[in-house]
Structure 1
Amino acid sequence: VYRNCYRDPPPHMQQLTFDSALLGCPVGRIQSETLTPDELQQTIAKAEAEGFRLLFWKLETSHPASKEIESVIMLKGGYFLCEKLTYRTELSKSITLVMRHHLNVRGIECSAFADAEPTPDMITLAIAAGGCSRFSLDPTFPRPAFHALYTKWMENSVAGKAADTVLVARDSWEGRVVGMVTVKMTEAISQIGLLAVAETYRRRGVGMLLMLEAYEWSLQQGASACTVATQTANSAARSLYERCGGIVVETCNDFHFWIGEKLQAPTDHKSNIPNQKPFLGDHGGRQAKLNLEAILESGRIQTHAKFGPLCEEILRNDLGVQKALLVGSGTGALEMCAMCVNAAPGVEVIVPSFTFVSTANAFVTHGATPVFVDVRADTQNIDETKIEDAITSRTRAICVVHYAGVPCEMDTIMAIAKKHGLFVIEDNAHGVYGSYKGRMLGSIGDCAALSFHYTKNLVCGEGGALLLNNANLTSTAYIAWEKGTNRMDFLQGNVDKYAWVGKGGSFVMSEINAAVLHAQLGSRVMINAARMQVWDAYHAALEGLEAQGKLSRPVIPVECEHNAHIYYIRVKDAQGRANLDKLAKERSIGVFSHYQALHISPAAAKFARSMVCTEAAECASQLRRLPMWVGLSALNVDAVVALVHDALA
């Protein structure tokens, strides 16, 4: 626990109590922006003697000795983080009228936030607002501290400590917060602190709507102008502020001084870093708890009452599919896919050998025969060049698996399917919110399966979804979903009572699970962004070992967007793999292999046939998954990377 270890801050210094407590070390701000180089060196020396570990400084670009000062900064262990611009807008009724005239925002409602605590969505937005900030850009600033800083900023804004009002934009249909702005009055000038819009709502005018609301509120408080600061590199924010009448009135550079040794990765060999850790939401899953409390208080525990339809609508809109049906598991979604394409005895379905058993078992359960095809060495996905050799007169469908959330080569696969009159099923258990050439995974084939198992990016314990893109499959899907009945026809008023009309099962997701999933979907942008940050850190840190031929990193094909579900490496050298497995166990770091190639599994001889799958067997032997979860810190990543280097270098 941080304790103040000095009586008075050095000259020109302000002690930052909140930041110090957050980082567990003394933190301060250099107050004077006009220090000479000599004064700066004296200030840093005094701060170091007093035990400071981190100093912040804002240097105006107009400072007469800026170049000389920057040399001192670098010499003393500081470094430039970003150039920051301050915009000022002279407020008037006319500017707000012009802005409102040009706005065309539908389905969004703005209002002042009145609750005592921010919602989880607002916390997510606050953290997103800091994405280009100096705290985010400083590689030494711990990620948990960065998240805590912006979480507290949001909480203090709602409490009236850091802002006088918080204005929020809500989705009119879902009711959740999709944008927010905080505003504080200082004499006759209003200042915007935090502003962010959820990723899936950007480029729809929500940012300008929030700025307009902030201007109108400021005018009501008697403000004559409004200011806001942003980084030069934040082109989206700059464009917004300039479109809203902002003019740059100040330019400065932000610097951080880390005094003494920088924070290092832990050297304790017992790191205790699990491979996976489900993220249940900020503040212990507050939104999930609220959703569950709403169910219990209302008594509406019946299946598909409220949260089920809400989740389905979000998935349908986000993914661009015709229908989305929540089911109890990803395996259940695959079984429904099998029923949709009429998998039955005598039918063959092409699947990759390197996949989870559910991919094949879904078809075996209905009497069909999976035909195993080899995978690509670069993506571990089905090798599209080997599919046609597996097609026979009995082939009904091709089931592709987007391994690790990386898209398969869908154009080629869809062309093969069209040529031979086959269905395409996407096993997208890994790849929710990934995309192929601008199309969301799950929206390309005839039908698709999602998984919300606790090991996936979005979780509800056990859960999944069936996605439909072929209208001819809709009736069969609903009958299967409704236990073999035409209950959907009854609910739509097409029949006066429903009956047993075909094959089905108990597939519908529990409303309890749907409530948890709804909270997860509300944080989907933050979850994917946090995972991408970890993925990118691994990818950059392991480039050198790949160049030395020690390992292979994942390959993301051109025009493909993955979702950072898994970060894996492939290690060809058997001794290197043995070293890695041994060290990982000793240091309690979750580094594991993945699937056994299905074509060599005991059940394959009973239920399947196989093409030559050499690469799948190699992949099963060589692939190792590194820890990947929301909240994995930079120090954790460093420990994992150090493990890989120690084992393979």
Structure 2
Amino acid sequence: MHIPVRTVPFCIPTKVKEQSVYIEKICADPSLLLTSSFSEKIIDRFQAHYPGSKIFLTTSATAGLLMTALIAGIGPGDEVIMPSFSFVGTANPFVSLGATPVFVDIEKGSMNIDVELLKEAVTSKTKAIVPIHYGSQPCRLHELMNFAANNNIKVIEDASHSAGARINEQYQGGIGNMACISFDHQKNISCGQGGLVIINDPDLFEMADLVYENGTNKKDFLRKKVNAFSWVSVGSNFQMSEVCASYLLPQVEQLDTIISERLASWRVYHNGLKQLETDGLLRLPPDHSGHNGHIFYLLTEKRDELRFHLAQKGIQANSHYTPLHSSSFGNKVGRYVHRNDYTRIKSNKVLRLPLYHNMKTEDLEFVRDEVVAFFKAR
């Protein structure tokens, strides 16, 4: 039996020194659980990214997408367009409300939705488009927004990978009518499970408040805008707990530093593997200005052999999404729009390398060198 000399895990959730201090405050004073002191500080930080928008902390990005679906009034008979190359959490919120997911192929040159095919997928039933920025590499969002506006379609950015990432001078998540960001255990900043919803369209602000508060007029009641507390709309309990917020807050406060350090790690791989791409042995992600280094992936015909080689060296590298359209349930409830089926082709080639906060330089170089060694031996 082969036993690796060292191990490099795929992911370790982000942790910063100040987290224990914040959590201990709650342990010392449980009444803080009844406040929103930590949550409000997080919202204030993100409000600087999204001036003029409404921001809500949620229990997950999937819950956040469900919130946006309720705000948009999506239901039976509606169609929602999204990339097939995504997590099931992109589709489930809309399917759970009775909408039909329309899966669209990704582009030849990126892992993001093909905007031209997306346009062909639109019907009179299309209610929303949900693009993702894979690994925070931006999709063609401005072009998509212009098309959607001309066709009276809402755009909900699934910016789950995108905390702190930009498209030109704007933060990802700040361009669509609505958006969500994820704070799950693999993301650059994390509280185990959590999300952020950004409402950029002022016409949706009032409904967002109602949906977030279980469909009640709680906010207006507390502001003394109404005389009685009442259930007035569809909604649910989406609120992040203060325990999760206390864990997340110090990471949000250090977000720029966390991204800077992660990008430095990301570029150890990118710079060290460029020659393999030049030699035609694999493809690397583009180093677009503004991404946050969330995922380092490569595309290779020898994905499974490379993953086995790395595992033999104690390195955990992972593939990624099974295309939603090819899953048994996705095939049952949705339809797939494509020409070249890049989603299937690339899903069989993609391999993600280990990447996490404070990853040791020697581990990054070890992984990089083993990828190079694998291809040189062939």
Name the TM-score, length of structure 1 as normaliser: 0.56
In the alignment, is the contact (CA less than 8 A) between 1:339 and 1:480 conserved in 2? Answer: yes
Distance in 1 between residues matched to 2:255 and 2:181, nearest whole Å: 14
- What is the match of residue 296 of structure 2? 567
- 1:537 correspondence with 2:305: no
Which string of whole-angstrom CA distances, capped at 9 and with x for unpartnered residues, describes residues 320-355 of structure 1?
351110011111111111111111000011100000
Distance in 2 between residues matched to 1:500 and 1:312, nearest whole Å: 25
SS at match of 2:258: helix
AA aligned to 1:279 is: T
- What is the match of residue 192 of structure 2? 461
Give how far 1:299 is off: 3.1
Task: Indicate which of 317, 322, 328 corresponds to 1:602.
Answer: 328
Distance in 2 between residues matched to 1:615 and 1:550, nearest whole Å: 18
- What is the match of residue 5 of structure 2? 270
SS at match of 1:483: coil
Give how far 1:388 is off: 0.8
Distance in 1 between residues matched to 2:35 and 2:101, nearest whole Å: 33
- 1:279 correspondence with 2:14: yes
Task: Indicate which of 591, 604, 618 corresponds to 2:317.
Answer: 591
In the alignment, is the contact (CA less than 8 A) between 2:211 and 2:234 conserved in 1? Answer: yes
Task: Indicate which of 271, 277, 302 corresponds to 2:33.
Answer: 302
Pairs within 5 Å for 1:12-23? none
Bigger shift: 329-338 or 373-382? 373-382
Distance in 1 between residues matched to 2:58 and 2:97, nearest whole Å: 18
In the alignment, is the contact (CA less than 8 A) between 2:263 and 2:292 conserved in 1? Answer: yes
Q: Per the alignment, do residues 304 and 422 of structure 1 end up closer, same or farther by CA in structure 2, a change over 3 Å counting?
A: farther
Distance in 2 between residues matched to 1:641 and 1:556, nearest whole Å: 17
AA aligned to 1:599 is: H
Give how far 1:616 is off: 0.6
- What is the match of residue 491 of structure 1? 222
Number of residue pairs matched by the alignment: 373
SS at match of 1:561: coil
- 1:371 correspondence with 2:106: no
Which string of whole-angstrom CA distances, capped at 9 and with x for unpartnered residues, describes residues 194-221 of structure 1?
xxxxxxxxxxxxxxxxxxxxxxxxxxxx
Distance in 2 between residues matched to 1:321 and 1:432, nearest whole Å: 18
- What is the match of residue 340 of structure 1? 71
In the alignment, is the contact (CA less than 8 A) between 1:337 and 1:447 conserved in 2? Answer: yes
Q: Per the alignment, do residues 465 and 545 of structure 1 end up closer, same or farther by CA in structure 2, a change over 3 Å counting?
A: same
AA aligned to 2:362 is: L
Task: Indicate which of 128, 133, 142 corresponds to 1:402.
Answer: 133
Distance in 2 between residues matched to 1:311 and 1:582, nearest whole Å: 41
In the alignment, is the contact (CA less than 8 A) between 1:378 and 1:555 conserved in 2? Answer: no
AA aligned to 2:183 is: F
Give how far 1:543 is off: 0.5
- What is the match of residue 438 of structure 1? 169
Distance in 2 between residues matched to 1:590 and 1:303, nearest whole Å: 41
Distance in 2 between residues matched to 1:589 and 1:376, nearest whole Å: 30
Distance in 1 between residues matched to 2:177 and 2:34, nearest whole Å: 26
Give how far 1:519 is off: 1.2
Task: Indicate which of 417, 425, 431 corresponds to 2:148.
Answer: 417
- 1:644 correspondence with 2:375: no
Task: Indicate which of 330, 353, 361 corresponds to 1:634.
Answer: 361
Give how far 1:273 is off: 0.4
AA aligned to 1:570 is: L
- What is the match of residue 11 of structure 1? none
Give how far 1:500 is off: 1.0
Q: Identify which of structures 1 and 2 has the higher relative contact order when contacts are C-alpha pairs closer than 8 Å and 6+ apart.
A: 2
AA aligned to 2:282 is: L
Q: Which consecutive unaligned segments of at least 5 residues does structure 1 have?
A: 1-267
- 1:619 correspondence with 2:342: no
Distance in 1 between residues matched to 2:76 and 2:246, nearest whole Å: 38
AA aligned to 2:297 is: Y
AA aligned to 2:12 is: K
AA aligned to 1:427 is: D
Distance in 2 between residues matched to 1:505 and 1:495, nearest whole Å: 21
Give how far 1:531 is off: 0.5
In the alignment, is the contact (CA less than 8 A) between 2:164 and 2:256 conserved in 1? Answer: no
SS at match of 1:351: strand
Distance in 2 between residues matched to 1:510 and 1:437, nearest whole Å: 33
AA aligned to 1:271 is: R
- 1:478 correspondence with 2:209: yes
Structure number, greater radius of gyration: 1
AA aligned to 1:642 is: D
Distance in 2 between residues matched to 1:548 and 1:565, nearest whole Å: 26
In the alignment, is the contact (CA less than 8 A) between 2:163 and 2:181 conserved in 1? Answer: yes
Give how far 1:517 is off: 1.1
In the alignment, is the contact (CA less than 8 A) between 2:159 and 2:179 conserved in 1? Answer: yes
In the alignment, is the contact (CA less than 8 A) between 2:296 and 2:355 conserved in 1? Answer: yes
In the alignment, is the contact (CA less than 8 A) between 1:319 and 1:440 conserved in 2? Answer: yes
Percent identity, aligned pairs only? 32
Q: Per the alignment, do residues 593 and 462 of structure 1 end up closer, same or farther by CA in structure 2, a change over 3 Å counting?
A: same
Give how far 1:627 is off: 0.6
In the alignment, is the contact (CA less than 8 A) between 1:429 and 1:451 conserved in 2? Answer: yes
Structure 1 segments, 4+ long, off by >3 Å, are 301-304
Task: Indicate which of 286, 289, 295 corresponds to 1:555.
Answer: 286
Distance in 2 between residues matched to 1:400 and 1:381, nearest whole Å: 8
Give how far 1:482 is off: 0.8
Q: Which has the higher strand share?
A: 1
AA aligned to 1:276 is: C
In the alignment, is the contact (CA less than 8 A) between 1:270 and 1:586 conserved in 2? Answer: no
